Amino acid sequence: MRLKLTLLLTLFLSLTVVAQTGLRGVVVDSRTHAPVVGATVVLDESGASAITGPSGDFVITDAKPGKDRMLIFSYGYRDLLRDVELLYGMDDLGIITIEPTNSVASEDNEEGADIILTESMLEDEEGNAQQVGALTGATDNPYYKATNYNFSTMRFRIRGYNNEYSQTYINGINFNDAARGRFNYSMIGGMNQAFKSRSVGYAAEPVNFGFGDIGGATNIFTHAKDYAPGFRGSVAYTNSNYRWRGMITYSTGLNKYGWAMTLSAIVRYAGEGIIPGSFYNSWGAFLSLEKEFNSEHSVSFTVFGAPTKRASNAATFDEAYDLAGTNLYNVNWGWQEGKKRNAKVVNSFDPTAILTWIWTPKTGTSLITGLAFHKSFYASSALNWYNARDPRPDYYRYLPSYYRTTSPETADLFEWEWLTMEEKRQLNWNELYQVNYLNNYEFEQGGEDKGSTYIVEKRHSNQFNWMLNSNLNMRLTPVLSLQGGIGANYSRSSYYKTLKDLLGGRYWLDVDQFAERDFPGDADILQNDVDNPNRHILEGDRFGYDYDINSITGRAWLQNVVNLHKFDINYGAQVSATTFQRDGKMRNGRAPENSLGKGESHSFINYAFKAGVIYKIDGRNNIQAHAYYGTRAPEYYNAYISPRIKDDVIANLKSARILSGDIGYVWNYRKFMGSITGFWTEFWDMTERSSFYDDYNSTFVNYALTGVQKEHKGVEIGAAYKITPSLTLNAAATIARYQYKNRPL
């Protein structure tokens, strides 16, 4: 303790505390025991006040001796009024629980949480990227609550940030993945009853479970004793991705032997969703066990997973939607043997286990250490073809607009077919089979051995993780608290393709059709695997590309929160180290010397600083400001130029720099609360990569941007007025501008 305090005072500041009359305590949610951040604590008689910090704790040091009434109020919770008698010195009230209400965007709103956590996959060839998820929880910011609940279905992004700028923890362990820095919301599997308890820090606000990021931080609690005892269940019918959903949760509560258990399960199903040709089949299970040995020590174990299989749609042109006569048009399916068959089927499963040890030696001090295992399985099927016409009905050469200026008669014919013939708007599975059958017949007659012209392949994007986190939270003096922690993450991401269906053909030839176009006649450069040239691929075989990326990340952070009469001050620092390396499993013909085996390791040391201040005008009005500056290692998804083919990374690869700040006015009355905040964020030396098919050059392209500079700035306004104890009027608005500020390379 002495060493930690000496280091803290040396690095930051020294405080002299004068004994005064006051009180302190910790405000928590009565149902989940999560800390309530930003609650206002007021002494009516003396007028003294405080705002709870990242651990839900508060300190009032300027009270007057004698009898008083303490009022605690916070948006989303019922007001608490308690008589207190103050003596000279500091009175410790310990844990104070307040009851949550059923406000529109509160964490009690199960249906709202389901909207927030619904899978919204934006899929590409290397896996899935999701929109920024909306996370409600124990936060007191009306703008944050209103925008997350109401704007999330429009893929609204807080301050324009991508998901990687928001950190998400489960029981204090950071679950943002190493590949893209994002949290995968589908791993929760829609089990909202099990994952509804959260503590949230908005933007660069201080939290007690991690350093946070410019987009905020969220900690999800799954400790068994925090769930209300008994059964809870629901059944819903909807016109969404799935039609039916059933959930059930059972919790024992903490028994006399110190044990608690919570079980939860979910089923979501649709033979066909609201989008034609889609289906949904998902179930999930959750188990949490906790043993409380005594008032200081407890151990919690959580395991969950949600296997999901679903058929999806794809974005297409406005012209195709207009011709089909519906915005639910789905190009991915077609009829086969009287049934709808979808070419784009996603299989996902994220089994996860978390072991947590909680040590609370005294009020205001806790050490939480956790170890987690996470395995992510993700596969998405797709059509592939070789030396044949594009089978997708919305290919631009099959649309009337392609011929409108050169051949109006042909355009009219195509338009008539789209309007009157369903088979022209959908995949023609029979035709794909017939082409492959014809190849077989020609070979049997002594002709060329072509194998399959059309196939269905599966693109796999799997990840294996071990994660370790340990976080310390302690009250050093009546006005000074310390938060700090260390964390490590080992990740192995595996990317490869397998053959799902030969569609009646005999085999698939494992060559790079794009290389054949670029380098005709070069036999070696066409090979996806030079060591196995012209390999005949059968169903279940790996082909095309096969590589791993191994990554190790470690971080340490330290933070102070100072609670004074007129000011609350926080400041902290973080240092992190990241290293990653590609490990190729095939010798690719385009890069035979730079594709197989372990490549070069790429390492980065990064740092970040943040600070914030709250000036308390009185117990109900304050001015807040936050600042952040840090560097950030490039995500390895963006670092490699063409990882399927070779080990090369983008030239002059380096960490990005981020500078961010905001300032706002906040008012917090019992019936009316709100905030007005202006923010500005500047990004330098960013790296971005996208992949697409270039029709002009008839090849697949990886397109990388380096040295990217961006600016995000704007104003946020949020307000909430409590009309009755159970009815609240919410309002939110934002005016913002997000733009590139240079011409990247």
What tens digit of pLDDT does each residue of 11-39 get?
A: 444 343 444 677 888 888 776 667 787 78
Task: Answer positive or negative: Cα dihedral of 529, 501, 305, 184.
Answer: positive
Per-residue pLDDT, averaged over 712-724, amounts to 92
Tell me what pLDDT residue 92 has.
79
Q: What is the pLDDT of residues 489-543, one digit of tens each?
A: 999 999 999 999 999 999 999 998 877 666 766 778 899 999 999 999 999 999 9
Tell me what pLDDT residue 185 has.
84
* Strand, coil or helix: 324: helix
pLDDT band per the 50, 70, 90 thresholds, residue 153: low
Instruction: Decide: residue 473, CB within 10 A, 0-12 exposed, 13-18 middle, 19+ buried.
Output: buried
Percent of the chain with pLDDT over 70: 90
Short-list 235, 247, 252, 245, CA closest to 194? 247
Confirm or reject CATH 1.10.150.130 for domain 2-98, answering yes or no.
no
Question: What does pLDDT average to over the chain?
Answer: 86
Percent of the chain with pLDDT over 90: 57
Please answer whether residues 23 and 91 qualify as being in contact, where contact means their C-beta atoms are separated by less than 8 angstroms.
Answer: yes
Per-residue pLDDT, averaged over 387-404, amounts to 92
Tell me what pLDDT residue 288 has.
96
Per-residue pLDDT, averaged over 351-355, amounts to 97
Rounded Cα distance between 448 and 445, Å, is 9
Q: What is the pLDDT of residues 224-268, one digit of tens each?
A: 988 889 999 999 998 888 899 999 999 999 999 999 999 999 999
Both tokens of residue 661? 């700040």
pLDDT at 173 over 90: yes
156 or 392, which is more confident? 392
Range with the lowest mean pLDDT among 152-166, 209-223, 539-553?
152-166
Both tokens of residue 301? 């174990």
Tell me what pLDDT residue 656 has.
96
Q: CA geometry: angle at 194 spanning 179 and 266, to 5°?
A: 90
pTM of the model: 0.85
Rounded Cα distance between 111 and 115, Å, is 6
**Adjacent-strand bridge partners of 298:** 292, 358
CA distances from 174 to 211, 381, 705 (A): 11, 30, 28
Please answer whether residues 314 and 197 qualify as being in contact, where contact means their C-beta atoms are separated by less than 8 angstroms.
Answer: no
Q: What is the pLDDT of residues 72-87, one digit of tens each?
A: 877 667 788 888 888 7
CA distances from 535 to 7, 514, 544, 745 (A): 62, 17, 10, 38
Tell me what pLDDT residue 129 has.
39
pLDDT band per the 50, 70, 90 thresholds, residue 689: confident
Q: CA geometry: angle at 636 spanning 635 and 638, to 5°?
A: 75
Instruction: Decide: residue 667, CB within 10 A, 0-12 exposed, 13-18 middle, 19+ buried.
Output: middle
Q: What is the pLDDT of residues 413-429, one digit of tens each?
A: 999 999 999 889 999 99
> Quick one: DSSP state of residue 681?
E
725 or 527, which is more confident? 527
Range with the lowest mean pLDDT among 56-60, 365-369, 476-480, 516-520?
516-520
* Strand, coil or helix: 151: helix
pLDDT at 326 over 60: yes
Rounded Cα distance between 590 and 515, Å, is 8
Q: Where are the domains of the chain?
A: 2-98
* Strand, coil or helix: 397: helix
Both tokens of residue 261? 């258990």
* H helix runs in 599-664, sequence order: 636-639
Rounded Cα distance between 53 and 36, Å, is 8
* Strand, coil or helix: 205: coil
Range with the lowest mean pLDDT among 111-125, 286-300, 302-316, 392-406?
111-125
